[in-house]
Amino acid sequence: MPPAIAFVDAACAKLVSSAAGLNDNPDNSALRQEMVEATKSILTGTRSVLEVYDDSEVRHIVRSCDGATESLNAIIAASEPQDIIRHLQPACQRILAVSQLAERRVAEIVDPWLKEDLATSKALVSNVSTRLVAVLKMAALNPTDPSAKESKDSTLQRLVHGVEEIRRIVQIEPPPHNEDLLLGDHSRHRGNFVEKLVDLNRATLNGSKSDIQTAHTALNEACEPILAAAAASLARPAVDADAQHRHTMVNKSQEDFLAAKQRLDLAVNQAAQFAGDDSLEAVAARTEVLEASRSIDAAYLSLATNVAGADLDEALRLVESLITADPASGTETLLNKLGNAARAGNKEDVEKYLAKVQEDLAVLEAAAEAAAAAAPDAERARAIRQAAAELTQAYPELAAAARALAANPGNALAAEYFQQVSGSWDNSARRLRDAMLDASSPEAMVAFHRAMAASHLDDFREACRTQDPGRLMAASVAISARVQDALTVAKAEMEHSTDPEYRQRLQVCIDDTIASLAGLQEAAKGAFLAPNDPAAMAKLDAAVARIDDTLGELHATIARQHGTGAEAGAFAGATDVDPEAWKGIEDSLSTMARLAEEAAAEEAARLEAEEARKAEEARKEAEARAAAAAAAAEEEARKEAERLLREAEERAKAAEAARAAAAKARAEKEEAERAAAAAKAEAEAAALAALAEAGEVVIVDAPAPQLLNAAEAAANPVRANAMRLKVEASKWDSAGNNLVQLAESLSEQMAQLENLARSGARRELIDLAKKIAKDANSFEALARPIAKDCTDRRLSRDLDTSADRIPTVSTQLRVLATVRAANPGTAEGDEDYQMLVQCALSLMDGVRATLNGAQSASIRSSNPATALPWRRRVYRGGDNDDGALPVMALAAEVAKM
């Protein structure tokens, strides 16, 4: 008989004997004590029996795991099909035994974490073992196929890993219960920060300088984890616009936190100088510490919220790309692409997608670890880490299955094996996604998506203003995605809530948000077509604000339901400073301030009396001195007046002589200036003649074209802009320069366009618009070769950008002219007339910018054949107010060309 059972039997016999003795002699204390000892021995022995039985069960599982591992390793080492088949049956039997023993052990384990770990490992073994026969059959039928061997080895390795995990887990002793271990990393760090922040404020109230410095050091150490988390979040690469916006949010919160910390550091150092002092200055320094503490507390929450939101958002987006999407959804994820390439037998694409999966897994591991740190408790953090580890471990088998299918695209076994492996992979990825969603608070995620949408809304508005269709499309897709993310959270809240009023409020918020998104798209159309129209831009601003408002109302609704307040959005599990702690510190500061004010008032009264006494003595002494000084001052004043009179006479004589000398100097200076002006005029005339003779400039004996005055420009905006274009073109000689000729022609046609639009001449207006469109397209075509041959990339890009606008705007002008011609009787303030005017102005701006860009690009041209001649015109009639350069400056500019 085993010793433990024998020990229990002996204790039972002893208990029966002592009970019989007590029945005959109830007052016998020795028998009573013997009965107690026997009972204790029964309990001890029973525990020993249970421990022996438990150890026996563990040893049984360990032996089964060792046998299964041995059989699996034998199959891995086998190279011949008959050897694989020979080892297969015992391996399957042993794996089945391990699964059954593990399942029974799961029911017996009390510790929830060990129970979950064992259940997960058991599920892994059961899941992978279902495809063992298929992968071994594929390897046996294709013994020379390396992909089939890789599939066999990866599946067997996963089974070995699962069996070894079961073996490891059943031998672990349950860990001791510790409340601190149940908190998430961010929550634990937040609690420590709050505790150290309150300790610092208490130290500044009554502590010594050393106490304050010690508490300050402890708080600085408590700040390190959140700064490290922010640095880790910013260190991950920003591979797309979303990631860049996440970095911007985290970086801004980090800057705010460091600024608040700097303020607190300065306040604490000041308060430390007043340690033990009860003056008003000391109270003010301690009050500043309190205010700075509140500021850094809010900044900490904001930084932690953005770090947690950014990490979780990045992890969720990565894991979504690693889940096979339903083909009916129209979405193609990375796993869809991998499966399609494998089924098509495209090995090159399979390797490319597998490399991308492995790259994303590496980033996902870091993001998932950061998301786990932000979880509200250790249980959910552990679930995230386990799911991420399971996904990473599943990669080799996924890669092997994809390669096997790519090598044998028509093989049913390979297709079935890949289907099973990818299905298992999808389940693991979904578990990771669900674990991360479970670790987030709905109000925090809505707040995060709202902030991300706001950053994209700025890009959206700027794209409308600059008429950038590519940027507009990217911003629109990003905004829609963020709004849909927020709505997904709201819909999940509706599904899980049993409160009908809350569900109704959520539905109203969802409907408002969807309507605001539609309103944004409508407003964007008008703003994109007329970026200079204040009404269209105001409508766009209102639509942008409406999107943010509806998301804000959705966030407030969820936050109020969860009792976190409309301004909330902090990460789940955040710990706030106890209001009673702040109140106690404020009360102490108020008491100190009152006592300091009373002491200061008493001291001020004493000082005031002392000052009054000294002032009276000083007054009497001053009166005596004033009387003595008055007589002396009178005599001194008389002497001083005489001296000043003599000096004034001498200065008058000197001034007369200086005036004569100055008059002579002015005459000489005027003579020299006249000579210099004559010499300059001769030099400029000679330089201009030399430039004209060299063919670098063209002298025009006529006044330069002049801009319209302000009144005329306001009444005739198109003609005013046409005149600006003509003034710009008139700087250059048109001979041999088709760009200048077309620019001058377009300026004249634009001036006619405004008159025709007002007069109602339909046919002439349409014909002129067509002529303008044709000339504008010719102008754009002439500018393209110049941009292409320019050696300066910036000048080439700028010329291309300005030329790009011309075809689109000229086409719009032709269409708008047709519309105006169809409504000739409408007023000038009507929309079609204003749109025609705006389009004409935009076209002339584009032509003017292209003309200037072509001139600059021609200087850097690598092809003389496309470089046009640019000769300056110099006007010698009237006032040259057209911006023409002075002759000497013109010569310098020509030398550079």
pLDDT tens-digit map of 567-589: 444 454 555 555 666 666 666 66
547: nearest Cα among 443, 441, 455? 455
Q: Which long-range contacts (CB under 8 A, 24 or more apart) does 857-863 make?
A: 857/786, 857/787, 857/790, 857/792, 857/795, 857/796, 857/799, 858/786, 858/790, 859/896, 859/897, 860/790, 860/791, 860/792, 860/795, 861/786, 861/789, 861/790, 861/791, 862/789, 862/790, 862/791, 863/785, 863/789
**29 phi and psi angles, rounded to 5 deg:** -70, -30
Paired tokens of 396 = 């080799």
| pLDDT recorded at residue 258 | 92
Residue 323, Ramachandran bin (φ over 0: left; ψ between -120 and 50: alpha; else beta): beta
157-178 average pLDDT score:
74
* CATH class of the domain at 698-895: mainly alpha
The model's pLDDT over 245-292, given as tens digits with 9 standing for 90+, comes to 778 888 888 999 999 989 889 988 988 888 877 777 888 888 888 888
Residue 138 has pLDDT above 90, yes or no: no
Has residue 178 got a pLDDT over 50? no
pLDDT in tens, 592-609: 666 656 666 676 777 888
Cα–Cα dist 98/159, whole Å: 11
Return the percentage of the chain with pLDDT > 90, whole number. 2
Quick one: pLDDT at residue 359? 85
Residue partners of 151: CB distance under 8 A and separation at least 6:
135, 138, 139, 397, 400, 401, 403, 404, 414, 417
Q: Binning pLDDT at 50, 70 and 90, where does residue 8 land?
A: low
Mind listing the pLDDT tens digit for each residue in 15-64?
A: 677 777 777 777 777 777 777 776 776 677 666 555 555 567 778 888 88
pLDDT in tens, 56-107: 777 888 888 888 888 888 878 877 777 777 777 788 888 888 888 888 877 7
Quote the tokens at residue 255: 């800057």
Q: What is the mean pLDDT of the chain?
A: 79
What is the helix (H) or strand (E) element at residue 840, kind and residue range? helix 831-859
* CATH classification code of 323-440: 1.20.120.230
Q: What is the pLDDT of residues 820-844, one digit of tens each?
A: 888 765 555 578 788 888 898 898 8
* pLDDT at residue 241 in the model: 67
Note whether 315 and 367 are within 8 A (CB): yes
State the pairing for strand pair 697-703/872-877: parallel
**What's the average model confidence in pLDDT over 306-312?**
77
More confidently predicted of 504 and 328 = 504
**Class of 442-575 in CATH:** mainly alpha
The class of domain 189-310 in CATH terms is mainly alpha
Task: Give the residue range(s) of CATH 1.20.120.230 domains in the chain.
Answer: 1-172, 189-310, 323-440, 698-895
Structure tokens given for 288: 């500043």
φ/ψ of residue 846, rounded to 5: -65, -40
CATH architecture of 1-172: Up-down Bundle (1.20)
- Residue 563, SS3? coil
pLDDT band for 181, please (50, 70, 90 cuts).
Answer: very low
- pLDDT at res. 256: 92
